[in-house]
Structure 1
Amino acid sequence: MTRRASIVMLAWNAWALTRRALDTLLATDLDAADVLVVDNGSTDETPAELAAYADRVRVLRLPENAGFVRGNNAGIAAVDPASDVVLVNNDLEFTQRDWLARLRRCAHGGDAVGIVGCRLVDGEGSLLHAGTRVYADDGAGVQIASGRVERDVGQYAGGDRVVQGVVFAAAYIRREVISAIGALHEDYHTYAEDSDYCLRAHAAGFFTVLCGGVTLVHRQHGSTGADRAWREQLLGAGRTVFLRHWRATLEAGYTQRLVLASAWDFPHDVAEVARPLARALDEAGVDVRYRSLYRRVLPHALAETGDSRDHTLNTLRARPMPAAPRIGLALGDPQLWRELHADHRIGWTAFDRAPDAATVDACNAIDEVWAPTAAQRDRLVAAGVAVPVLVMPWGVDPDYCHPQIVAPKNPHGEFVYLLVASWDDVDRPWLALRAFTRAFTHDEPVRLVAWIDPLGVDLAAATRALALDPHGARISVLPQRRVPEEERALIYRGADALFATAREGPALHAAAAGLPVVAADDAALTIDRLRETWRDRHAARRTALAASARVRRERGWAAVAERVRERLADIERALPMTPRAPVPRRGAGGAIVLGMHRSGTSCVAGLLHLMGCYGGDEAGFLSNPDENARGFFERGDLHAACVEALAARGADWSIPLDRDANAEPDRRLRGTFDTIRAELESRAPWFVKEPRLCLLWPDIGPLVADAAIVHVVRAPGAVAASVAARDGLTAPHALALWEHYNLAALAAGASRPRTIVDYHALLADPVATARRLYDALRDAGLRGLRWPSAPEIVAWVSPRLAHRRLARTPPLLAEHARLWAALADGGALREPVPAPAPDSVALLARLAVEHAEMLRRQHRGKVKKS
């Protein structure tokens, strides 16, 4: 027999809202449910207007506004004591006819279910609520996992899920719960009483469930929206009461503690795994303490800001780090696992290709490694990883990736295959494209949408032959762009099937979304499977939909988090009580970045920083956001010493007076640099960047006889433009300086390992140019370097870094042109460089004389004044 339900709608003023709520409510299938409107002391037309509904609803009039809690309690007390109670706000719109039947069915789907809520949207395309969670840290809660207002694409509509709480704007409460714990707690006025009630129900043995099959429109804050200050006051009061009741209980719900070193913002490929993992671990009862795994190597311009635009992650981030972590998990680049300090250290990443020696060493330096698949585990063991390697799969978020996601389909009626891949030798998408062209012709209504990560390749050039083939299959090649986290499943649901490559992630997401998956392995078999899936599309779709539920259940992040929690418990039981000593960094060697000002030396120094080279505490680097928002990577102490050393001989950066060949080295500069060198070598590999060192090399060169030279070059006209714009120098002066600095840099590196980095080549092809620099540094003896991911390199090396050029390129002397050609093609490293241009020597000599005369005049003026 179906349990009777009584609907209680609380109303206070705002008659237009109440009327809309009542009219839409009464137009749905209420299945004999009675409706009670509690008029909470309204002073507008509400009491009179409610009279028109007397034949369809009951009205309970309260003499004054008793608040949300007491008003609802009055309604609960006034309905049939044998019926379930459905609390609804008067700022709802009931847009789903069978909403009540679905909530009732969910509520009575098991004896342990006590309270049921639903998805709430704002009617303008945004999702507002899909289950609440309140944190003991500050009493603040979230209505969806991220805490953001997300675009509604059908997330959380894929099924029912147990949640900590639901908002009581719409809540179905079984009578058994009311009988067990009573009505709402009257310590509250408005806000937080719903979370309190759900936790009280849980303590009495009842679960709260979000019914994904029901969506209602909520014009929230209907009663308090006009007075934000009052609403904030009510929120604060509710949180205070809630924490008094529940802080200790919520804190006791964490059964494990974990230090998670990873990335929540950048690099994006790591963040796409780490963000849902952290949320799932928190819900599983793991107290996550977060730190950035990349904080030492990411330049400040790429580093995390502390705001991940996600309330849950920001809450976890704010938790203090334990003094002696027991278990640490490094999720990300193996070359950075050494940065993790804990009694038991775990490294977790995808090993999509055979690990190199540096990766094997990184794995063997920690206590255990997790690989997402058995094939990746076997790959590590075969390569020589001796520590335990466990299979710990990555997951998919079933609330955001499921068959009910609403996505537009191909408007031309084509059957769409989706290919999600990187243009690299792991995915090898060119093989998939070739197979697809063999499987279909241009006349068949089948299209491949290749969503390709284009880093390191010119997609248009690479796929031009496909585009020009009049007989081949229909193919659209699209470069990947950043997609909001909650909208990523739209890419999959917009297709009819996935054409999968080697990486597991796209196939896992497609399977969860209910798409058939065709693997690109054996070419002949692949072609047959592509055609078979298209021909038998209905059967393929039925099979995929049946598999979707299993994938979402077994590979959802909640299931992964439970496996992680169990493993952490096993580790905790086996750990000795004595804390482990921190593991020192192991590296060797250093590099000195030389080059003319405005030549890209800061960009290259930041690239060395990405590669794991230590240049000093970033707080000690010079900064001038107006001139270079990303920073100079110049140490303030070294900069000051160089300026002082040049001034001591009457020079500065723009008047590079030659040093007397018989002069004694500048002792103060040498002392400062010696101290800096000792600090750097303790944190090797290291780097130093300061263009003035080109002029002061005879003073400090002998102190770093084994350091490699990284000589950064840029076209003379571009440098002249930038220097003229910044410093007001004439073009001949700037060109003469360009020549002088570059010749000095070449002389400095004449007897040691050196490499030239062309700034223009770096901007044009960041990944390839960075790889040449990385290989050159390793050949020069630097150890402990890391190879940054392509997204890291591209994000740092941006064409926007190029400073403005002269509208008209200044005329170059023949010597300037020859020197630039020798620098650009690397000939300057193999053959004698051209002699300095006579005009440049004469100009700098004249400027030096004028500069010295100016200093003498200033000195005489000071003497006269004294």
Structure 2
Amino acid sequence: MTSSTALSRSKSSRAKRRRGSSGNHKRFTTAKRRLKKSRTSVTGKRRRLASKKLSKKRAALLARRRRDARRRKTAPPVHVHHWDRYESDPQYGTFNPGHTEVDPPAIDRRPLSRPVTIIILTWNGLDYTRKCFEHLAPTLEPGLVDVIVFDNGSTDGTVEYLRTIPWIRPLFNPTNIGFVAGNHAALPYARPDSDIVLLNNDILTEQGDWLSKLQETAYRSRDIGIVGARLRGPDGSLHHAGTYILPDNLSGQQIGGEEPDVRQYNGVRDVQGIVFACAYLKRELIQRIGFLDQDYFSYFEDTDYCLKAIMAGYRVVNDGRVTLHHYHNTSTRVNGVDFWDMYNKSREVFRSKWQNLLQMRYERPLNWRSVVHLPLYGYTETSKNLMLGLERQHLKVNYEYVYGPGTPMPFEEPETGPDMRVNLFKQRTQSPEAVEVVYGQGDVFYKNKGRYKIGYTMLEVDGLPHDWVAQSNSMNEVWVPSHFNAQTFRNSGVTVPIHVMPLGVDTNYFHPGIRSKRFSDKFTFLSVFEWGERKAPELLLETFSRVFAHRDDVLLVCKIINNDPSFDVPTEIRKLKLGAAAERILVLHNDKIPSAWMGSLYRSADCFVLPTRGEGWGMPIMEAMACGLPVIATNWSAQTEFINESNAYPLRVERLIPAEARCVYYHGFNWAQPDAEHLAHLMQHVVANREEAAERGRRAAIDMQSQFTWDHSAARMKGRLAGL
């Protein structure tokens, strides 16, 4: 309501009262005027007093301003650093290496040492054949390489096109007789002394030295019979780095299928099989075991042939140095063929020949109780890799989830996960005669029901809870990954035999050749951890901010996982008051980076740093070392199993302190307090001595590859089980 409205309403009311006046109207009006006069008098006094007070305040304010102005004229200017004027937040981001190959592998094309015949089958798909030949022609070595093209009844102009290519020998069949029969028909036209390369017409040989590298690998050892290559799809994803097949479902799988290609599987590796989209076959092997089995029309003939070679004492390897472009299943797609009908018919043929033989490859069963489909749980990834390693050692792994209702972790895990082999392990029945391993926390060993019981666990402090000790002593023996844990278990009262079974790292995904995607051109520290007291995040962040506060050429990237809803990581970091140095910290907060990308994250940094207070193993430390990074890590607990002065920068421990954390397993025990000054020194040292640090990282990668792969872990376990 405005004042004018109030005034108009007051006048209206008085007019109404005048129109309806009574005998008391005059007396009422006189009294009202007296009251108004009294109020006006009081209000006037208050206004005068308020005015005097306001005048005094204004005068004081003006005087203060004059004094401040005189001081500013005489006092020297005070320089205030910009990082002292405010608190900054770190940057927050995500990591994605993408599909772009920024640095293609170097071409080292050496002369062939013996003749090669390449056999290519065509069945329509002219556009793919053209592209194949355009890339193939420049890679051939005249006089040593022949190309035979067998056409399976094409009707799309392929026949006419083949007649125009002078450097091939075309063979024409009026109808499609299939992949196997077509190759058999072409083989007699090859030089009798030449090795054979089977090549699909939807392969692009973009790597100029592909053929010389495959031949070089084939003749590295006399027992190598078949060599395959990495195959990449049109979208840049990895399609093939070898194959495997299990007797449980006889469904062949391609290793690395459809993962983003970050140069994983880039070495020469023994595999169970390869796809024959590109296959180098030694002539000696063909003479020994024959050629492709003509019981197959298409599909499974390659797996069949690889298994025959292995049974004959030959090795099948995949040469990860060679990467070719593969369009995949082109003939069935362009010709409208029912892929699954053809595939399933061939699988039944394969089943009749190989299912029993594949079962016979297993040397003994092993019951494995653990966790594998809960990605937030620490044992998950290592449990999966241990089972796969034991499978490669020809142990039949029968997996069962160890947790659930009534256990310390009372929820169920999903029935299936992304790895078909692990899903098959879970479908198998536990063997009552097998040794049983429980791989999990020490308070779940009671779930072990085997005839011979092994408990396999670890802890990050200098002692064990009483319940863990009691359950450990109910086992026939206990496995731990490090001598650190062997000592703490023994000191805590575990009396049964204790065996050290180190964990490992997958050097197919963690190696120096993994493709990086750098965050900047600054020297980059990387740390990977779950937010919590044990990882000492405040020590790392405060040390970095103190040491590199005045440097713009150094960056710290922290991949931080936080699964505790009661903690807000940005708020906790803000409490540290890192100043403007926080602008040189990048936080990947709860960034769900796929396992296949983690190697790329490590390779995007120059040094890994983790001033942890204690580790049960230290997987991120080992992964960084396998990728060739120099590592700064606390010289206490399980990581001392694999870090030393020659391959890392061990961080001194100031003293042991009570392990104060929300984890009940730590109560009453101690862990390390890393030396903050030594951490600062080491971080400055690696920045100032980059070549020395890089050399230490190279040494670390060699050590991990030669001593700490999952195959090393599985072989050691197999050796122990064989003695039971």
TM-score between the two structures when normalised by the length of structure 1 = 0.63
**Which AA in structure 2 matches 1:134?**
I
Separation in 2, partners of 1:467, 1:177: 68
What secondary structure sits across from 2:221 in the alignment?
coil
Written as runs of structure 1 = structure 2, the 5 A alignment for 1:574-589 is none
Separation in 1, partners of 2:380, 2:366: 18
Separation in 2, partners of 1:131, 1:519: 36
Decide which of 530, 551, 564 is 2:683's aligned counterpart. 530
* Mapped pair 1:519 → 2:633: yes
Which residue number corresponds to residue 122 of structure 1? 233
Separation in 2, partners of 1:473, 1:410: 14
Give CA-to-partner distance per residue, 1:772-801, whole Å, 9 cap, x none: xxxxxxxxxxxxxxxxxxxxxxxxxxxxxx
* Mapped pair 1:381 → 2:495: no
Which residue number corresponds to residue 559 of structure 1? 712
Unaligned stretches of 5+ in structure 1?
572-866
* Mapped pair 1:410 → 2:522: no
Q: Would you say the 8 A contact 1:351–1:371 is kept in 2?
A: no
Note closer, same or farther for the CA distance 1:170–1:373 as it changes in structure 2 (3 Å cut). same
Separation in 1, partners of 2:620, 2:217: 32
Decide which of 160, 182, 204 is 1:71's aligned counterpart. 182
What secondary structure sits across from 2:723 in the alignment?
helix
Decide which of 547, 555, 566 is 1:439's aligned counterpart. 547
Separation in 1, partners of 2:336, 2:400: 35
Separation in 1, partners of 2:533, 2:480: 20
Which residue number corresponds to residue 503 of structure 2? 394
Q: Would you say the 8 A contact 1:284–1:561 is kept in 2?
A: yes
Note closer, same or farther for the CA distance 1:392–1:300 as it changes in structure 2 (3 Å cut). closer
Give CA-to-partner distance per residue, 1:478-521, whole Å, 9 cap, x none: 32333222222222122111003343211110111111111243
Which residue number corresponds to residue 539 of structure 1? 692
Shift of 1:44: 2.2
Shift of 1:306: 1.9
Q: Would you say the 8 A contact 1:441–1:473 is kept in 2?
A: no
Decide which of 137, 141, 145 is 1:33's aligned counterpart. 145
Give CA-to-partner distance per residue, 1:126-183, whole Å, 9 cap, x none: 21111111111121111116xx5322222111x1100011000001111111111111
Separation in 2, partners of 1:409, 1:43: 50
Separation in 2, partners of 1:173, 1:461: 61
Shift of 1:543: 3.3
Note closer, same or farther for the CA distance 1:438–1:492 as it changes in structure 2 (3 Å cut). same
Note closer, same or farther for the CA distance 1:30–1:550 as it changes in structure 2 (3 Å cut). farther
* Mapped pair 1:361 → 2:475: no
**Which AA in structure 2 matches 1:217?**
H
Give CA-to-partner distance per residue, 1:291-331, whole Å, 9 cap, x none: 10113358999523322122111122222222x24211111
Q: Would you say the 8 A contact 1:466–1:472 is kept in 2?
A: no
Tell which has more relative contact order, 1 or 2 (C-alpha 8 A, sep 6+). 2
Give CA-to-partner distance per residue, 1:788-844, whole Å, 9 cap, x none: xxxxxxxxxxxxxxxxxxxxxxxxxxxxxxxxxxxxxxxxxxxxxxxxxxxxxxxxx
Written as runs of structure 1 = structure 2, the 5 A alignment for 1:769-788 is none
Which residue number corresponds to residue 687 of structure 1? none
Which residue number corresponds to residue 216 of structure 2? 105
Note closer, same or farther for the CA distance 1:192–1:460 as it changes in structure 2 (3 Å cut). same
Give CA-to-partner distance per residue, 1:456-492, whole Å, 9 cap, x none: 4332232215554236793233323332222222221
Note closer, same or farther for the CA distance 1:114–1:548 as it changes in structure 2 (3 Å cut). same
The structure that has the greater radius of gyration is 2
Separation in 2, partners of 1:489, 1:113: 30
Which residue number corresponds to residue 470 of structure 1? 580
**Which AA in structure 2 matches 1:118?**
A
Decide which of 292, 298, 309 is 2:418's aligned counterpart. 309
Which residue number corresponds to residue 333 of structure 1? 441
Which residue number corresponds to residue 620 of structure 2? 506
Separation in 2, partners of 1:98, 1:344: 53
Shift of 1:444: 4.1
Q: CA RMSD in A?
A: 2.2
Separation in 2, partners of 1:549, 1:333: 31
Written as runs of structure 1 = structure 2, the 5 A alignment for 1:68-467 is 68-144=179-255, 149-157=258-266, 159-225=267-333, 230-266=338-374, 267-297=376-406, 303-322=412-431, 324-353=432-461, 354-411=463-520, 413-456=521-564, 457-466=567-576
Give CA-to-partner distance per residue, 1:355-413, whole Å, 9 cap, x none: 211222222222221111111111111111111111111111111111122120123x1
Written as runs of structure 1 = structure 2, the 5 A alignment for 1:783-794 is none
* Mapped pair 1:569 → 2:722: yes
Note closer, same or farther for the CA distance 1:65–1:472 as it changes in structure 2 (3 Å cut). closer
Q: Would you say the 8 A contact 2:402–2:438 is kept in 1?
A: yes
What secondary structure sits across from 1:377 in the alignment?
helix
Shift of 1:72: 1.3
Which residue number corresponds to residue 801 of structure 1? none
Separation in 1, partners of 2:469, 2:541: 33
Note closer, same or farther for the CA distance 1:81–1:261 as it changes in structure 2 (3 Å cut). same
Which residue number corresponds to residue 50 of structure 1? 162
Which residue number corresponds to residue 743 of structure 1? none
Shift of 1:198: 0.9
Shift of 1:4: 1.4
**Which AA in structure 1 matches 2:685?**
E
Note closer, same or farther for the CA distance 1:549–1:60 as it changes in structure 2 (3 Å cut). farther
Separation in 1, partners of 2:535, 2:581: 25
What secondary structure sits across from 2:247 in the alignment?
coil
Shift of 1:229: 6.8
Q: Would you say the 8 A contact 1:442–1:474 is kept in 2?
A: no
Separation in 2, partners of 1:366, 1:190: 51
Which residue number corresponds to residue 22 of structure 1? 133
Separation in 2, partners of 1:397, 1:549: 13
Unaligned stretches of 5+ in structure 2?
1-111, 635-650, 653-674
How many residue pairs get matched?
565
Separation in 2, partners of 1:152, 1:57: 33
Q: Would you say the 8 A contact 2:389–2:711 is kept in 1?
A: yes
Which residue number corresponds to residue 479 of structure 1? 589
Shift of 1:76: 2.2
Which residue number corresponds to residue 730 of structure 1? none
What secondary structure sits across from 1:42 in the alignment?
coil
Separation in 2, partners of 1:38, 1:466: 71
